[in-house]
Amino acid sequence: MTQDMSNIYQHWDSEDAMEQFGEPRDLFASEVYFLDKIMQPNMSMLDVGCGTGAVYHALKNKYAGLDYSGIDISANMLKRAHELAPDQKWIKGNFVDDNLLDTEQQFDITFATGVFQHEPRTEELLQKMLHHTKNGGYVLFDVKLLNKHHTLKDINVSYCDLEHRLHYIALNWADLLKIIFNKDNKIQEMQVYGYYAGMNKSVRIPKTVEEKVCSANILLKCGEHDSDKPFPMLINLPINFFK
């Protein structure tokens, strides 16, 4: 049975989602790994899929002058985010579909955690994040990665088994590179940091997947790359990922 695409975001307004994500959390070690490298005082940040604003609360006292904006599809999450930080910019809507920002509005950092694994339009999502990032700024997001197996994107065979079914998307490494190095994307450098973290108990994937799913954070520096120079790429994945 196929699922109505209009329902793929319903989970985020559910009681289960609020129970799990309704309060700010500590940053994941993988988030800190890159944020500690790129964050400076007085930076602007767009947090796509911000939930209740965990990133804002983790960074606000560490980096003075943080100019933060959070976007989320869940009215319940944003209601709680506003209760916790009423003076911040909380924007409700679908980042991919809706025109939530001025066309030319750009940020020093455009950030997304836990979004790409549930959004099937990965190309469009990344292109829009890059569009709203300044030249020399950064896009930081996380993905689930496979090396040998093909990309999992069909919600009927790879999903989170919840009251409202969610996509569980794991990108083949080669497919991820194709998405990132789309000819329209302007990227100066790329870094990847990943590890094996296991999967949530709700995740259902095909038995044809015989490798571990790798969780990886991707950092892209935006802007034109000098084609006369080697493209800077630093890959830090488990030693056996490419075997």
Segment 216-240 shows an average pLDDT of: 94
Q: Share the mean pLDDT of the chain.
A: 93
* Intra-chain end-to-end CA distance of the chain, in Å: 35
Pick the closest to residue 17 from 228, 209, 236, 202 (CA basis).
Answer: 202
What's the CATH code of the domain at 168? 3.40.50.150
Does residue 22 register a pLDDT over 90? no
Quickly state the pLDDT bin for 98 (edges 50, 70, 90): confident
Segment 91-106 shows an average pLDDT of: 93
Which sign does the torsion angle of CA 33, 37, 43, 46 carry? negative
Kindly state whether residue 70 falls inside one of the protein's structural domains.
Answer: yes
Higher pLDDT, 220 or 226: 220
DSSP helix/strand/coil, 33: helix
Does residue 212 register a pLDDT over 50? yes
Kindly state whether residue 223 falls inside one of the protein's structural domains.
Answer: yes
Does residue 240 register a pLDDT over 50? yes
Helices marked H in 39-119 — which ranges? 54-59, 75-84
Kindly state whether residue 241 falls inside one of the protein's structural domains.
Answer: no
DSSP helix/strand/coil, 129: helix
Quote the percentage of the chain above a pLDDT of 90: 81
Q: Which domain, by its residues, includes 66?
A: 5-236
Kindly state whether residue 91 falls inside one of the protein's structural domains.
Answer: yes
pLDDT recorded at residue 6: 53
As for how many domains the chain has, the answer is 1
Does residue 80 register a pLDDT over 50? yes
Pick the closest to residue 77 from 39, 118, 48 (CA basis).
Answer: 48
Kindly state whether residue 242 falls inside one of the protein's structural domains.
Answer: no
Kindly state whether residue 206 falls inside one of the protein's structural domains.
Answer: yes
Rg (CA), the chain: 18
Q: How far apart are CA 28 and CA 156, in angstroms?
A: 29
Residue 239: phi and psi, rounded to 5, are -60, -25
Quick check: 43 and 68 in contact, CB under 8 A?
Answer: no
Q: What is the pLDDT of residues 165-206, one digit of tens each?
A: 999 999 999 999 999 999 999 999 999 999 999 899 999 999
Kindly state whether residue 39 falls inside one of the protein's structural domains.
Answer: yes
Q: What is the pLDDT of residues 40-53, one digit of tens each?
A: 999 999 999 999 99
